[in-house]
Amino acid sequence: MFSKKMVLIVGLIILVTANVIILSLSSSRYPSYKPGRIALYIVGPLQGVVTDLIRSARDVWYDYFLLVSVARDNTKLKKSLRHAVAKNNQWHEIELSNIRLRNLLNFQNAIAEKVLAAEVIGKDPSPWFKAIIIDKGRADGLTKGLPVMIPDGIAGQITDVSSHHSKVMLIIDRNSAVDALVQRTRARGIIQGSSTGMCLFNYVSSKDDVKVGDKIVASGLDGVFPKGQRIGEVKSLLKRESAIFHEVTVAPYIDFEKLEEVLVLLTPPKLEFVNQQ
């Protein structure tokens, strides 16, 4: 009834349509699914071993082949260490008196959040998406959705957890979104990733005052990242007369190419956010 060619063409059309539907459905959801977690179990330990080997090789290079400069540095450092020890003693005294005074005033401890340090053992295989694999997982108390940071600022969010490894979606990934503020003017918007390694600060009203060089911080309203954590700096700004929003590009403070260790915040401000609601 139908020729072979006809069946082939119809089959191809059905296949393409099904493919487009599956991809558009999965793209609109969280990039995580349960059976695929097996990948982290299989590849994670190997990535850990290879990363350790690379780091050991690098350490050998620095420890043995650069010993000449190290010896020179050592003499200088010993001198400065003597000064530092003396200074440290002073700071220690001040710290002790500070603690006593704090106790007197019944202040709470300044560090409110519990953090866990993790090592980066792998990166996203595709240049179009930005994720890292870290060497801590469910066994260390990590769960999906926890924020990941370094002292420079916000790095990303955990999107998948296996027993000893986790996948972190970086803020420069196009699927990432962080509720943020301009520190100077408190103008609000959403920080989204782009394939350029920069972030886009979307939905900033054209009425709001934003300048190149402005610091962008987390607003805390997404219930994931703590309020006030640094994200980046406004790199470029495009103000169109008729547009409702500014087109703002933000350069993150973190150099994601050199990310080696991260901190996972074990107590995100989620509950606080829910209570506020």
Partner 1 sequence: MTYGFFFCISIGLIVFQTCIIPVLPLFNSFYDLMVPLIAYLCATRSIRESLPIIIIFGLIMDQLSCSPFMLHVTAYIWLYVSLRWITKVLQVGYRLRLPFIVSFGVLIENIIFMSNIVLVEPGMRFPAVAARIVAVQFLWALFTGPLILMLFEQTHKGWNRWLSGIFVRRTT
Footprint on this chain of partner 1 (rule: CB under 8 A): 19-20, 22-24, 26-29, 31-33, 35-40, 42-43, 46-47, 50-51, 54, 121-131, 133, 159-160, 167, 169-170, 173-175, 194-197, 257
- Cα separation, 178 vs 181, whole angstroms: 10
What is the closest distance, in whole angstroms, from the C-beta atom of residue 156 to partner 1 in the complex?
9
Measured from the CB atom, is 62 or 91 closer to partner 1? 62
CA distance linking residue 161 with residue 159, whole number of Å = 7
Output the smallest distance, CB 127 to partner 1, in A.
5
220 within 8 A of 271, measured Cβ to Cβ: no
User: How many angstroms separate the CA atoms of 68 and 88, rounded?
Assistant: 29
Q: How far is the CB of 253 from partner 1 (least distance, A)?
A: 20
Nearer to partner 1, 8 or 271 (CB): 8
Q: CA angle, 93 as apex, 88 and 99 as ends, to 5°?
A: 120
- State the minimum distance, in angstroms, from the CB of residue 129 to partner 1: 4
Nearer to partner 1, 12 or 101 (CB): 12
Residue 151 Cβ vs partner 1, minimum distance, rounded to whole Å: 22
Helices then strands, counting H and E runs in the chain, come out as 4, 12
Residue (51 or 267) nearer to partner 1, CB: 51
Query: CB-based contacts of 23: which residues, under 8 Å, 6+ apart?
Result: none
Q: Cβ closer to partner 1: 208 or 247?
A: 247
Instruction: State the burial class of residue 180 (Cβ atoms within 10 Å of its Cβ: 0-12, 13-18, 19+).
Output: buried
Nearer to partner 1, 24 or 80 (CB): 24
Structure tokens at 105: 């005033």
Whole-number minimum distance, CB 84 to partner 1, in Å?
Answer: 32
